[in-house]
């Protein structure tokens, strides 16, 4: 049996919730920076070859462990989606399972992994620059390198410093570094579980799209202003948005909205659509071919969610690094 290499970062059963009912089995794909609207089947979109592949300690390429684990989770959570679409209540076990799914939906997508790799690169460069300013650390680093590799070439400590301080190099983390961080999705599940879940229902005129970064969160100020920056899942004014299907949207909050199922007003559907488009890494998936949605996608073609690494100090003047989210222009 051939090994799996087509790895989906969004489940196919999930994408089926955005199929055009007048053009089955297709949905519509919008791409930031590309005005062409194309149709695609869930099986042939939202995947990257070898996206979850990694090298085992034995040196073999594992193409199936992650894909199989996600397939198992998706098989379990699909019936929960069906209950939500039927506007039924969930028991504790179903709510917990759906919370785990939400956590992994946040960490398995390309936007998250790209941000992790960007953060690792920045942290690594910061350590290199710190090393460059410390002669003793530079010397001991060279000695450790020689012992580890057997490379006995003469390495100039000063040349190493000059190179480290130059801008003539880039730090390119291995994709396996971000793959190793996907597991953090499970750590977010308890937060989602404890939130108030409000489900908004679309109507015949306006439907919800989704994207390659479908779970987003932001702060809602008292005046209604939405802020992506400095948003944390545990903050009392944070709101989580996740499209369940073209007809249903989840809003998670700490009591900002009542629990249950409610018809959404057109302006709320439009606001949610705008936020989904803004936060998308590259692709938006929808059940309708819409020139209006296409214009919105291209209007926000240069922005997506970014994580920034900042060095901060605690109350005891100890330095550590922290990740902050913001909406930023693409690099």
Closest CA to 142 of 160, 128, 130, 125: 160
Residue 242 corresponds to which tokens in the numbers above? 């996740």
In a domain, 166, yes or no: no
In a domain, 292, yes or no: yes
In a domain, 182, yes or no: yes
Q: What is the arithmetic mean of pLDDT over 94-116?
A: 93
pTM, two decimals, is 0.87
Q: Where is average pLDDT lowest: 112-126, 159-173, 178-192, 286-300?
A: 159-173
In a domain, 83, yes or no: yes
Q: What is the arithmetic mean of pLDDT over 261-279?
A: 96
In a domain, 156, yes or no: no
In a domain, 110, yes or no: yes
- pLDDT at 330 (0 to 100): 65
pLDDT tens-digit readout, 83-103? 999 999 999 999 999 999 999
Write out the residue range of the structural domain in which residue 219 sits: 6-115+177-309
In a domain, 171, yes or no: no
pLDDT band at 316 (very low <50, low <70, confident <90, very high): low
Residue 93 corresponds to which tokens in the numbers above? 């076990």
pLDDT band at 228 (very low <50, low <70, confident <90, very high): confident
Q: Is 136 exposed, middle or buried (0-12, 13-18, 19+ CB in 10 A)?
A: exposed
Classify each residue of 47-59 as buried b or exposed e, where b means 16 or more C-beta atoms within 10 Å of its C-beta. beeebbbbeeeee
Answer whether 226's CB lies under 8 Å from 275's CB: yes
In the β-sheet with 27-31, what is the strand arrangement from edge to edge? 34-40, 27-31, 283-286, 210-211
Q: What is the arithmetic mean of pLDDT over 68-94?
A: 96
In a domain, 235, yes or no: yes
Q: Across the strands, what pairs with 304?
A: 328
Q: Is 94 exposed, middle or buried (0-12, 13-18, 19+ CB in 10 A)?
A: middle
- pLDDT at 134 (0 to 100): 75
Classify each residue of 210-240 as buried b or exposed e, where b means 16 or more C-beta atoms within 10 Å of its C-beta. bbbbbbbbbbbeeeeebebeebeeeeeebbb
Q: How many domains does the chain have?
A: 1
Question: What's the longest Cα–Cα distance across the chain?
Answer: 73
pLDDT tens-digit readout, 33-65? 999 999 999 999 999 999 999 999 898 899 999
């Amino acid at each position: 049996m051939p090994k799996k290499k087509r790895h989906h970062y969004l489940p196919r059963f999930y994408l089926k919730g955005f199929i055009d009912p007048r053009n089955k089995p297709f949905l519509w794909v919008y791409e930031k920076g590309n005005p062409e609207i194309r149709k695609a089947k869930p099986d042939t979109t939202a995947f990257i070859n070898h996206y979850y592949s990694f090298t085992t300690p034995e040196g073999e390429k594992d193409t199936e462990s992650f894909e199989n684990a996600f397939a198992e989770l998706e098989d379990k959570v699909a019936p929960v989606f069906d209950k939500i679409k039927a506007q039924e209540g969930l028991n504790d076990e179903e709510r917990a399972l759906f919370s785990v799914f939400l956590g992994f939906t946040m960490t398995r997508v390309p936007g998250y992994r790209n941000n992790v790799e960007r953060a690792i690169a920045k942290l690594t460069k910061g350590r290199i620059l710190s090393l460059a300013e410390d002669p003793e650390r530079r010397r001991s680093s060279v000695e450790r390198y020689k012992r580890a590799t057997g490379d006995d070439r003469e390495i100039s400590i000063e040349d190493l410093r000059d190179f480290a301080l130059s801008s003539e190099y880039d730090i390119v983390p291995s994709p396996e570094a971000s793959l190793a961080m996907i597991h953090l999705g499970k750590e977010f599940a308890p937060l989602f579980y404890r939130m108030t879940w409000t489900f908004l229902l679309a109507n015949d005129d306006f439907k919800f799209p989704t994207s390659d970064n479908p779970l987003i969160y932001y702060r809602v100020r008292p005046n209604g202003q939405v802020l992506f920056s400095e948003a944390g899942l545990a903050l009392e004014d944070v709101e989580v948005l996740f499209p369940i299907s073209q007809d249903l949207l989840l809003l998670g909050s700490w009591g900002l909205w009542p629990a249950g199922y409610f018809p959404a007003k057109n302006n709320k559907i439009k606001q949610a659509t705008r936020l989904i488009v803004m936060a998308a890494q590259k692709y938006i998936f929808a059940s309708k071919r819409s020139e209006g949605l296409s214009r919105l996608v291209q209007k926000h073609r240069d922005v997506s969610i970014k994580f920034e690494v900042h060095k901060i100090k605690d109350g005891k003047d100890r330095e550590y690094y922290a990740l902050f989210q913001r909406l930023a222009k693409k690099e």
